[in-house]
């Protein structure tokens, strides 16, 4: 999170500097050609610097994106089935500190699988689509009872589609 904040601050600062420094004044009729050429060169330089900075930030941060992350060989596997209006988890107890691979499936309609920690803070979310197994990887660090909420409207009793699991030390 700190890296994201730093990167965002640098990006916004660069955008402001570029915006302020590239505001073009209209050419005066008696302005020398050399001054016009210098200003055009200055603007092109800022364009290249801004483009290069954005490309560098994107290239650097793409490796920090967690999507496609693997749980590794020492993973815990939890099979989750969503069905109107319940989640079935096998097993329903997870050990803290070990990556968990949730294999999510639906028997009927699309469901949302949103996980909240014992303090009620949102942890992650995944869509569960019928006839498809969605894989979500997460490592829990805090023991306690975690709540599951369906985040995709799935029918009349959607508001009652809740679940929970226990994370042990």
Residues 75, 70: Cα–Cα separation, whole Å:
9
pLDDT value for 148: 97
Residues 137, 100: Cα–Cα separation, whole Å:
6
Phi, psi at residue 92, to the nearest 5°? Answer: -105, 10
pLDDT value for 66: 64
pLDDT value for 100: 94
Residues 122, 114: Cα–Cα separation, whole Å:
7
- Residue 22 pLDDT > 70, yes or no? no
2: confidence class by pLDDT, cuts 50, 70, 90 = confident
**In this predicted model, which residue has the larger pLDDT, 13 or 82?**
82
Q: Which whole number is the average pLDDT over 70-88?
A: 90
pLDDT value for 69: 65
pLDDT value for 78: 96
CB atoms within 10 A of CB 45: 12
pLDDT value for 26: 67
Q: Looking at the domain that runs over 76-168, which CATH code has it been given? A: 2.60.40.420
Q: Residues 116-168: pLDDT tens digits?
A: 999 999 999 999 999 999 999 999 999 999 999 999 999 999 999 999 999 99
Residues 76, 121: Cα–Cα separation, whole Å:
22
Q: Which whole number is the average pLDDT over 73-93?
A: 93
Residues 5, 154: Cα–Cα separation, whole Å:
36
- 39: Cβ contacts below 8 Å, ≥ 6 apart: 24
pLDDT value for 61: 81
- Residue 4 pLDDT > 80, yes or no? no
Is 136 buried (19+), middle (13-18) or exposed (0-12) by CB count in 10 A? buried
The structure's pTM equals 0.62
């Amino acid at each position: 999170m700190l890296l994201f904040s730093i990167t965002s601050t640098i990006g916004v600062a660069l955008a402001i500097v570029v915006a302020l420094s590239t505001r073009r004044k209209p050419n005066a009729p008696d302005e020398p050609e050399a001054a016009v050429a210098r200003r055009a060169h200055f603007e092109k330089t800022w364009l290249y610097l801004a483009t290069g900075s954005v490309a560098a930030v994107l290239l650097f941060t793409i490796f920090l994106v967690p999507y496609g992350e693997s749980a590794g060989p020492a993973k815990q596997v939890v099979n989750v089935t969503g069905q109107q209006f319940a989640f079935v988890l096998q097993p329903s107890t997870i050990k803290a500190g070990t990556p968990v691979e949730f294999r999510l499936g639906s028997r009927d309609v699309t469901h949302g699988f949103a996980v909240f920690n014992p303090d009620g803070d949102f942890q992650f979310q995944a869509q569960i689509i019928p006839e498809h197994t969605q894989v979500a990887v997460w490592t829990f660090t805090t023991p306690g009872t975690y709540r599951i909420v369906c985040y995709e409207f799935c029918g009349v009793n959607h508001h009652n589609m809740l679940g929970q699991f226990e994370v042990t030390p």
